[in-house]
Structure 1
């Protein structure tokens, strides 16, 4: 079996990011490691991951190593100003499951979209009665550098293909 549409792919990897500022690229620094104790699983073709990420893994077999980079435009693009919004602080009360320390600048708030799917927003600024949130993906504006291995492959169930959500891994 190889990485192809409707296959559940389990990978281990280290993700490093870098950013170009004033035409100088920063040294890549590690932001995430997924090892054999906590691999990352996704349904190929319905992952919500950048298209180029899937392209780079297509055709690989279980046990194979990979190493590739995605430019900002191939990854999550640049930040969009319309994804930065102000909300009344009252919407983030303890009755809704939020604590005061969750609203600190730099924190990511766990939220649900209008369809009940999990999402997050970064707290940019406490404006007193309001809070400024950034709904851009946390990796916008970064080049992504992946190094890892294809750990497991299996056919996705009909439900996994439909939803893109992996319900667990079984050999």
Structure 2
């Protein structure tokens, strides 16, 4: 059975940056594969397009430029926020708000996003809201473990959103669309689910 729309796909992959022999930053294993409904819009479009037609047992190598993946780094997504926004009961929360931490935030319109704390001064917290893999070319090497018809329930669940290649979701915010809610276990995106989201 080939990968086409509304098929449930299970696959493994090693995700690397800086070339096919570069640093591995995420991995889906046979024990914790990436499971998704093909064509539901949960994956990066180019990643999904290059999987179409593959069958169970097929190996794949997918190279995505940063423009085909998470885009270029957007300098406008690096912002200075007033430090008082991070007060909890009148006190600055320096356990969570510290340089190098990724902090869940909400925009004025209610959109959830993660910000990386870059700098803290007396008055501001500088945060980067770019995707962690913005500006990076991505290299996937993997194998298709299974392709089957998705159930009506699996298809309905994708309508509610979820996460995978390109969704920006995270298992930590309950947004994982993976069938078993498995998270990436290796590298910079541990705690995320599926292809660097």
Quickly name the TM-score band, shorter chain normalised: 0.7 to 0.9
- Contact 1:160–1:167 (CA<8 Å) still a contact in 2? no
Which residues of 2 match residues 36-115 of structure 1 at below 5 A? Answer: 36-94=30-88, 99-112=93-106
1:136 corresponds in structure 2 to: 130
User: Deviation digits for residues 57-94 of structure 1, max 9, x if unmatched?
Assistant: 11111222111211122111211122122223333345
SS in 2 for 1:101: coil
Counterparts of 1:114 and 1:48, CA distance in 2: 24
Counterparts of 2:96 and 2:52, CA distance in 1: 39
Comparing 71-80 with 137-146, greater Cα deviation is found at 71-80
Q: TM-score, normalised by structure 2?
A: 0.68
Where does structure 2 lack aligned partners over 5 or more consecutive residues? 163-176, 181-197
Counterparts of 1:42 and 1:112, CA distance in 2: 27
Runs (4+) of structure 1 exceeding 6 A deviation are: 114-117
Counterparts of 1:36 and 1:117, CA distance in 2: 33
Counterparts of 1:141 and 1:151, CA distance in 2: 30
Counterparts of 1:115 and 1:167, CA distance in 2: 26
Counterparts of 2:129 and 2:122, CA distance in 1: 20
Where does structure 1 lack aligned partners over 5 or more consecutive residues? 19-24
| Structure (1 or 2) with the greater strand fraction | 1
Q: How many residues get paired?
A: 161
Which structure has the higher relative contact order (CA within 8 Å, separation 6+)? Answer: 1
